[in-house]
Structure 1
């Protein structure tokens, strides 16, 4: 499980008003496409879809492999009919809660997406743990998370992140910007997830850092 982060120097993914395109440069974004190509599935949340309208495909001139599957956690099934996720790409799977209208499910399914209901046993939203189990049951072993702060925090809190690919742009957005990781609810320092940095490199004007989870 890989968590991709693209932030300012101070760990912000957007201004307080939500403006975020583009924080990192062309070279960093090209590397993200290569990350997608190396994974079976790209996992995101509906908040990211509504804010950024991503396609989550590999768009490289030299790419001739299989597109990764796209998975969206969408508790109330708010995926817009105009979303770029409906453009050609890997299979699209949407996980929702059990209380969404049947008509909404069929409308999304009619656009070519697969819609499945998941339990909510780890919070008020669609369960990340259940989603991961289901993805792996469908042979999605290599999962790349490209999402906002809430889903990033959930993945870190549940300790399912094995690797972090962090792209930092040389800008500072300040405390009124949106944090890359939402609240973790930690009460002691020894509860914090700990990672070791294994590489750091310049990529265009940005910095690319790679971290792996420490055992224990």
Structure 2
């Protein structure tokens, strides 16, 4: 729950990303008025003729409604279900890892579109999946001065660690105040 100023700082990192990814949970929330992803980029950024990064939705059961805002053009929906048209979005089936899209298959689908960098915005399960797959090179997040406890959503779901030594390690690159919040940047150690 960062302050409104966070959008100003957060948009800086997006200009370098070829795609942004969000979970199906975020897509459902996006339809209820919560922004799905921050996909705005300066007009100087372009990837294959697009003025904004490609929006990527991981929708394992392909439940995205055809009239959803995210089903517009410039959206790639990766699913483990049988593909069917969803608005103007491109729908691509990928291999599954359990009931969810397998992260290596997701990365292969993006690489096939010359996407080499992804900003992951979504739920804790999506973040955990990319971390467990070893696909996270950097973390940028905003920390607000508010405590939610168990009522809040986890930013990273369970990593199924057997011991503390198995935890992924990152080194801090910087911390910058943005209003009352902190913008923290880390790189994989």
Asked if TM exceeds 0.5, the reply is yes
Listed as ranges, the matches of 1:163-178 within 5 Å are 163-178=138-153
**For the residues of structure 2 that align with 1:73 and 1:56, how far apart are their CA atoms?**
13
The question of 1:39 aligning with 2:22 is answered: no
Residue in 1 that maps onto 2:37:
56
User: How far 1:202 moved relative to its partner?
Assistant: 0.3
- Where does residue 142 of structure 1 map in the other structure? 117
Indicate conservation of the 8 Å contact 1:41/1:143, yes or no: yes
Match among 47, 68, 89 for residue 83 of structure 1: 68
Unmatched segments (≥5 aa) in structure 2? 45-50
Asked if structure 2 preserves the Cα contact closer than 8 Å seen for 1:57 and 1:68, the reply is: no
1:57 to partner: Cα distance: 4.9
Q: Which shifted more, 73-82 or 159-168?
A: 73-82
Is contact 1:36-1:58 (8 Å) kept? yes
- Once the two structures are overlaid, the 10-residue window that deviates more, 151-160 or 76-85, is 76-85
Give the TM-score normalised by structure 1: 0.77
Gaps of 5+ in 1: 1-22
TM-score (norm 2): 0.87
Q: After TM superposition, where is structure 1 displaced by more than 6 Å over at least 4 residues in a row?
A: none
Q: CA deviation at 1:201?
A: 0.9
CA RMSD of aligned residues (A): 1.8
Partner of 1:151: 126
From the superposition, tell whether residues 30 and 80 of structure 1 become closer, same or farther in structure 2 (CA, over 3 Å): farther
Partner of 1:9: none
